[in-house]
Structure 1
Amino acid sequence: MNKYVLTIGDPNKNNAGPKAKEDVLYFLKDEGFLPLPLNLKLDPEDRSFGAKLRKVYDVKFKIPRVFKKLKAEVIVLQYPIYSTYLTNNIIKAIRSYTDAKLYLVIHDVETLRLFKDDQNFSQNEIEVFNSVDGIIDHNRKMHAWLDEQGVTTPCIDLGIFDYHNPTELREEYDYDRSLVFAGNLAKSKFLTSKEFEKLAFKLELFGPSPAEKYAENINYQGVYSPEELPEHLKQNFGLVWDGNSIVKCDGTFGEYTKYNNPHKASLYLSSGLPIIVWKKAALADFVIDNNVGFAVDSLTEIDERLENMPREEYSVMKKNALAVAQKIRTGEFIKTAMTKLEKVKD
């Protein structure tokens, strides 16, 4: 069976965006999928006339050239590719030139993340979802939202993103109730909240675009690529939080956690770290069901929760996190979801 994963390069290596897509390809290769490079130059920030001309050239010549002679039974498109125009025309070309089943692996639902009030964008995104043969979404909450929006394409829940992490798992640990947060610090406004310094727990911080100043209980440790970062994750818990406030996940990105699987959760768990999440986050179901951490309504609850957590309770969470790490490191979640999707009848 000829099965392919479309690949589109991303030059930014110090964030999890390209890492997530690279890992889907990495693990699906084990299932017989091959990379299918489109070699499109994508820059969401470039709105120049030259960029528009390049897209037209890609649609008229480059994209058809890839699919015209392709004999494929399955093609996987990792969504989004940050150009509605190119997305629509890639799908159109696949439908015009091949008889392949077309599956989407959703990394972000842009309507939920950035374009909630843009009716035209939202309608186009739903049309994209309904134009393919199958979808791998993040979790039950995202699946339910897709159903509510009128998506009729068969959907399979991923559960959590896999993470290729060759760093040796550390089973030994010091139980010092330490926390780590890794991510895009420019959008993690809660870290600069004046209320943060009232929290007792210490937080190790990694990521690009740090603020000029943080509270004394935050220790900024620099920026590393997703491949290098696991070497520095030796804390007891990984924190998954977003938005502007320490009392809830708010704002555009905070609200988005009600539906998505943040990739940082996979980074932490693949390193054997239990995680702390917002109770209203979609990911809370996974954390509680697998007992790989705990959920809170507010960061202000963490100090008391840690203070009253005996080593024995943490030891169980750690053991479970190490077990989940083995699954995440071998691509079990994307492989299982893809197998289920391929078994769905027309």
Structure 2
Amino acid sequence: MSKYILTIEDPKKNNAGPKAKEDILYFLEQENFERLPLKLDLDPEDASFKAKLHKLYLGKVYIPRVLKKIKAEMILLQYPIYSTYLTNVLIAAIRKYTNAKLYLVIHDIETLRLFKDDPEFVANELRIFNEVDGIIDHNEKMHAWLKAQGIKTPLVDLGLFDYHNPIKLAETYTFDRSVVFAGNLEKSKFLTKLAKADFQLKLFGPNPAANYPTNVQYLGVYSPEELPKYLTQNFGLVWDGTSLTECDGLFGEYTKYNDPHKASLYLSSGLPIIVWRQAALADFVETNNLGFAVESLTDVASRLETMRPEEYSTMKKNAVALAEKLRTGHFIKTAVAKLTDEKDRA
């Protein structure tokens, strides 16, 4: 079978989750997928006449020319790309110029994240989801939401994002109840209020605040490839928004449906995780004993204080076992296999 993954260059270099997308490419190339590179150098904010001509060229000339050169049976598109217009053009061109099955791997549903109050965008995004042959969503919660919106396309749950992590897993550890948080700190406003949570936190990431409480220690910023070597703590924290008592705001609410990539960063490093009890990941974490869920960050300190070393040891072993799966692309490889097997799709 001739299998391709569309790889699309974002001219602004701001597409969400480049590490997640590159890792899917890395793991699926091991399954004999080929990259199909498209240079769609279109600025969606440019409304000039020249930009409109270029848009026509991409849709009428460039994209058809690329697709006519391949004999594809399966094409995988990592969604979203930076332009809704180009997504629609790609789907139409794939249908016209190939006989390939077209599948989406969802990284983000923008209707849930940024455009829930834009009816035109919502309608277009849902229509896109119904025009493809199969979708890999994140988890049961996202799956149920898509079904509730009337999506008829077969769906397969990913479970977790895999994480290419070549840093050797630590074989020994000290149970000291330490916690780490890594991410874009500009949108993690809750961190400046963490004095009320009364537990120690190590912090990594770009755009730190000018000041943090004394129980928060900022340790700098590292690339996604380097960062795992510094994740030697007991737990990784997965939290979003401005509040200690809930994950709030657009990004906080979104955790009710998505699989945050930072969870895979921690788990691929062998760290159990702490999540919001209402997050989509909470059931997975607790069912597989990969950490614990809390209603509020003010509950973390007491949970850590009462944790027995043998309880943590079990969580740690489970996280290390899962890390081996994440490092080999287990979840994306399994999901793609299910997409091609009708009895496994829902």
User: What is the TM-score when the length of structure 2 is the normalising length?
Assistant: 0.95
**For residue 218 of structure 1, what is the aligned residue in structure 2?**
216
C-alpha distance in 2, partners of 1:124/1:130?
10
Unaligned stretches of 5+ residues in structure 1: none
C-alpha distance in 1, partners of 2:76/2:125?
17
Q: 1:344 to 1:169 in 2, by over 3 A?
A: same
**Counterpart AA for 1:209:** N
TM-superposed CA distance for 1:11, in Å, is 7.8
TM-superposed CA distance for 1:289, in Å, is 1.6
Residue deviations 1:37-71 (CA, integer Å, cap 9, x gap): 01223666x54636555433322222111102220
**Root-mean-square deviation (Å):** 1.8
**2:109 aligned with 1:116:** no
The aligned runs of 1:88-103 (5 Å cut-off) are: 88-103=88-103
C-alpha distance in 2, partners of 1:15/1:86?
14
**Counterpart AA for 1:344:** E
TM-superposed CA distance for 1:201, in Å, is 1.2
**For residue 162 of structure 1, what is the aligned residue in structure 2?**
162
Unaligned stretches of 5+ residues in structure 2: none
C-alpha distance in 2, partners of 1:93/1:245?
45
Q: 1:8 to 1:146 in 2, by over 3 A?
A: same
The aligned runs of 1:58-97 (5 Å cut-off) are: 58-97=58-97
TM-superposed CA distance for 1:163, in Å, is 0.4
The aligned runs of 1:196-345 (5 Å cut-off) are: 196-344=194-342
C-alpha distance in 2, partners of 1:43/1:214?
37
**Counterpart AA for 1:214:** Y
C-alpha distance in 2, partners of 1:105/1:52?
29
C-alpha distance in 1, partners of 2:124/2:11?
27
Q: Any conservation in 2 of the 1:14–1:208 contact (CA below 8 Å)?
A: no
| SS of match in other structure, 1:99 | coil
Q: 1:7 to 1:109 in 2, by over 3 A?
A: same
TM-superposed CA distance for 1:10, in Å, is 5.0
**For residue 148 of structure 2, what is the aligned residue in structure 1?**
148
Residue deviations 1:200-231 (CA, integer Å, cap 9, x gap): 21111111111111111111111111111111
C-alpha distance in 2, partners of 1:103/1:14?
23
| SS of match in other structure, 2:228 | helix
C-alpha distance in 2, partners of 1:288/1:52?
51
C-alpha distance in 2, partners of 1:206/1:43?
32
**For residue 192 of structure 2, what is the aligned residue in structure 1?**
192
Q: 1:14 to 1:233 in 2, by over 3 A?
A: farther
| SS of match in other structure, 2:105 | strand
C-alpha distance in 2, partners of 1:39/1:306?
49
**For residue 132 of structure 2, what is the aligned residue in structure 1?**
132
Residue deviations 1:272-314 (CA, integer Å, cap 9, x gap): 0000000000011110121100000000000000000011000
| SS of match in other structure, 2:30 | helix
How many pairs are equivalent? 343
**Counterpart AA for 2:144:** A
Q: 1:88 to 1:296 in 2, by over 3 A?
A: same
Q: 1:175 to 1:55 in 2, by over 3 A?
A: farther
Q: Any conservation in 1 of the 2:10–2:82 contact (CA below 8 Å)?
A: no
C-alpha distance in 2, partners of 1:189/1:215?
12
**For residue 178 of structure 2, what is the aligned residue in structure 1?**
178
Q: 1:236 to 1:51 in 2, by over 3 A?
A: farther
| SS of match in other structure, 1:31 | coil
| SS of match in other structure, 1:40 | coil
Q: 1:13 to 1:275 in 2, by over 3 A?
A: farther
Q: 1:51 to 1:304 in 2, by over 3 A?
A: farther
TM-superposed CA distance for 1:13, in Å, is 8.5
